[in-house]
Structure 1
Amino acid sequence: MAILVIAEHGNNTFGAATLNAVAAAQKIGGEIVVLVAGHDIRTVAETAARIEGVTKVLVADDAAYAHQLPENVAPLVAEIGAAYTHVLAAATSHGKNLLPRIAALVGTEQISEIIEVVSADTFKRPIYAGNAIATVQSTAAVTLLTVRSTAFEPANLGGATAAIEHVAPGSGDSGKSVFIDELLAKTDRPDLTAAKIVISGGRGMQTAQNFDLLYTLADKLGAAVGASRAAVDAGFAPNDMQVGQTGKIVAPQLYIAVGISGAIQHLAGMKDSKVIVAINKDADAPIFQTADYGLVADLFEVLPELESAI
């Protein structure tokens, strides 16, 4: 078997979720090849070559892939992926945007957000917001998978280097989409999906200004800050902070839920956290059924006390 893993990157920065996808590929077994498509991506390719278990890195370097528009990258992966038994990508926004297009071009289905490899053709994935686990078997010639990164420990970056091979850029620019601009939120805090500690606020925060209480505490703890969908919909926090089924999936060592009731939509994005702490003045809030530790109290009294005690 030969497995193709699509690298996620920012042209000069390597996407950590790729390591989780490679870890899933290692569970499947076989030769693992990483595809890096982008522009001026030497640093990313060299990093990918250091991943333990990777035998080869394919590099498609072309201006058409500079912003990794899925309309441009999908035909390339569909062409290269035909020679492989499996094609994997992390279940991030990038992977979710890319894999369905590849599946349509190849003429097969994809299996989304796998959390366990049972065998080379059988996988487990959550359904119904994680309330049930489906075991899915694929009979496709090329099995397309997105990998929930929180379910697999990342592969190690070692000292050995795999062979780096440049491939033809394929059809290049499809002309179906054009990159206009990107607005990036800059912060010194850890990335939400990679942080060891996450503090999230919900509707109970009441205003966007009150999220400053979470930011101050997070800076002391070296934590990332998240939000429930209710808080995002209310305008308290931006979309990229949303944790949940329609947001980001996180599994930190410590998850602190502040003013979050515990709707299924939110629990689906954080219930795999190692330790969950809930702060809510409603003793009947569903979040307490999931939390390892719960504090029934007014968050506006607790947070300042907690911040001053650290």
Structure 2
Amino acid sequence: MDPAIYVCRYLEASYAAAHPDLTDAARELVRSEIERNPEAYAHEPHAQALVSYARVHARMIAELARMEELPDGEFERQRSRLFDETRLALFKIIETDRSCIDARLLDLLLADVPLDDCLRDLLALEREAREQIRCAHDDFDPEAPGLWRGANEDEAAARTLEDPQVIGWLHCVEALSQGSLTSARYRAAGTYAQQVLRARGYANHAEGTLFLALARLEDEDAFFACSRAIGEAAEESPWYLLGRTLLFYKLGRRKNARRALRDFAGRCEGGAFFLLNPTYLTPYLPVRPEVSEAWRRSHQAVWEADGIIADTPDFANWAATVEGVEAASEDFARRRGF
């Protein structure tokens, strides 16, 4: 989740708690003022650390977007410098407030260490964050629907969205899910994804990780049970549509796999192109970002499935032979200038 969203919600909730007589109109005004100038409402060290983190994160994302068209060598040099500068800024935030979980999480993800070492550090941070939340809130329960015992959906959503530590913890769990998928720990990836999906008020696509993990495990029953639980939205998910293709292919059901692949290529703009033309995607920092265009979500799905595709003999070559897939790829490339 974009820190600009949850940090402002936290500041708004803190202000409202200190001013219980606010009218709805006054609260709307406060919300607008916070979005315009959050620093003016960050009076406590924790709030100041959160606002600083939001600024550091926004700058990093903007700079990465600016670098996309650079030649490879220059891109690597500028990105390395940006990450060093970002880690220095994060160090200063963490030094001030170690309870800023997202700052610590992003620092871990930017560290140049082997994936297994990164996952070990992420696991330690997730445990620490979870225990901090439990100590502060007796009714917090990672296994409960909505994460809060006794809360209805609206209450659970509000409590999650207004608590940066809970958001930071969810980011840790989501990062663990992605890291587990990348490192071929598919059952762990699915377990972490299911934990994220219990949250309310926290926009995410953790179901994508779950679909891909279940497809790789060839667990057809669990895959379609997940689809039914999510409902109609699953039918438009590039992770579901690609995962279904991989699942049928791995199960040796080529006719079903061909139909599923044509469905993926037809429903997911850019899906065929990214499947046939693996294209670099900036790593998630710290978690899968929201996108402004549908084709970018297709790119995310294919990028996340890269290890599974590479581990599935001849899948990519087979996909190129399925009727309509190459044409869909070429059409997308022509329209989007790839």
| TM-score with structure 1 setting the length | 0.28
Structure with the higher fraction of residues in helix conformation: 2
> Which structure's residues are more often strand, by fraction?
1
Calculate the TM-score normalised by the size of structure 2: 0.26
